[in-house]
Amino acid sequence: MIVEASDEFKFRKESSAPSGFIAWKSGERLVESARRTLIAGAKSYMGPGRHFVNKHGRFAHRYLDQVLMGQSAPGSYIITAYAPPNAGVLLSGSPEATALAVPELGMASGRDVSQAVVRAVQATVEALAHYRSTGSLSGFEAGVTQGISYEMTRAILGIAENSDGADISIEWDPVGSVPIALDSHFEFRGSDVDPLGKAAARLAADPASEVSTLIGRVHLLAKKQAGSPGVFGLDSLSGGRTKKVRVRLSDEDEYHEAVRAHEEDLALEVSGRLEKEGNLSWLYDATVVRTLGPISDFARPSRGVLIDGQISLFSEDDG
């Protein structure tokens, strides 16, 4: 198969594994983070947003349907995405109707959407540089108009975490007009995870409501229903009066993060609108800020440890 004209995105992650290899779970995480980067940037093409949730999701996935994934390059572990610059991405409509074509009314060009991805990544890198020099997250707020969002900060966080250095590089195909106002190489450090996590929590917060952020252990999972992002139980490790909370997610993709944290016994940081219903505490419109380290690193003294499956997720006898 001959790959036609393509703009190349390279997502690279340094690891302690031999050259060209990566731990399986880290490799899965890198692929997922690369996908999220492309999705978040594509959503920003349709307009700025602090937290898109499912908004513009169909458009972003129509763009992703045009992208091919290449093999890892020699050396550090690298994921390559090939985005056709001449692809037409319908602004609305069914994915089946999208075809390679000259952009026309109601259709975006693949190159324009790819530029939106890079613009959002560049704005995030600039916000990180501002944070390093000032300790302020204001750069993330100011960069929303350039494509920074909760989704993008989460995607970049996944690339930077548990790495000895990571980067994203772009090589523009010479077909058509090559962007000159955008950088083509962006580097990240493991130390970027903390500000990215804080920025994600801030961008996900609804200024009109009181938002709470908790760290805890995922102890129960409710199978997702059609149209529902998913619900899980969290045994709080943050201290305070709230010991257990039911978390109702706003984004179905993040249910997988909760499953991973449960399977690997990792602490999870979540943010949302905390409300009390009877004996139950609920975290509504919640987002996963980040997956943290082993539960043992965050454990607090408690009167007992909940055994998985011991109670129904929606019972009221554990408030």
Distance CA 172, CA 138 (A): 31
Instruction: Write down the pLDDT at residue 120.
Output: 97
Amino acid at 252: E
Distance of CA 253 to the CA centre of its chain: 9
**What is this structure's pTM?**
0.71
Instruction: Write down the pLDDT at residue 228.
Output: 64
DSSP state of 310: S
In total, the chain counts a number of residues equal to 319
**Do 169 and 281 lie in a common domain?**
no
Instruction: Write down the pLDDT at residue 95.
Output: 44
CB contact at 8 A, 52 and 36: no
Q: Flag whether 313 is in a domain.
A: no
Q: Flag whether 317 is in a domain.
A: no
* H helices, E strands: number in the chain: 7, 12
Q: Tell the burial category of 62 from Cβ atoms under 10 Å away from its Cβ (0-12, 13-18, 19+).
A: buried
| Structural domains of the chain, count | 2
**Do 192 and 252 lie in a common domain?**
no
**Do 278 and 256 lie in a common domain?**
yes
Which of 150, 177, 204 is the C-terminal boundary of a domain?
A: 204
For 95, the domain range is 7-204
Distance of CA 64 to the CA centre of its chain: 15
Distance CA 139, CA 142 (A): 5
**Do 245 and 191 lie in a common domain?**
no
Q: Flag whether 260 is in a domain.
A: yes
* Nearest C-alpha neighbor of 51 from the set 224, 201, 156, 195: 201
**Do 142 and 176 lie in a common domain?**
yes
Query: Nearest 5°: phi and psi at 194?
Result: -60, -55
Distance CA 225, CA 223 (A): 6
- Neighbouring CB atoms inside 10 A of 91's CB total 14
Q: Is the dihedral of CA 12, 17, 20, 23 positive or negative?
A: negative
Q: Flag whether 304 is in a domain.
A: no
The CATH number linked to 275 is 2.40.50
CB contact at 8 A, 199 and 155: no
The per-residue pLDDT string of the chain (319 residues; one tens digit each, 9 = 90 and over) reads 445 778 999 998 887 777 777 888 888 888 989 999 999 999 999 999 988 877 888 899 999 999 999 866 666 688 899 999 988 888 876 544 444 444 445 889 999 999 999 999 999 999 999 999 999 999 999 999 999 999 999 999 999 988 888 999 999 998 878 888 899 999 999 899 999 999 998 888 766 556 788 888 998 777 655 556 778 888 888 776 777 888 888 777 788 888 888 888 888 888 888 887 777 788 887 888 888 888 888 765 444 444 343 334 444 444 4
Q: Flag whether 319 is in a domain.
A: no
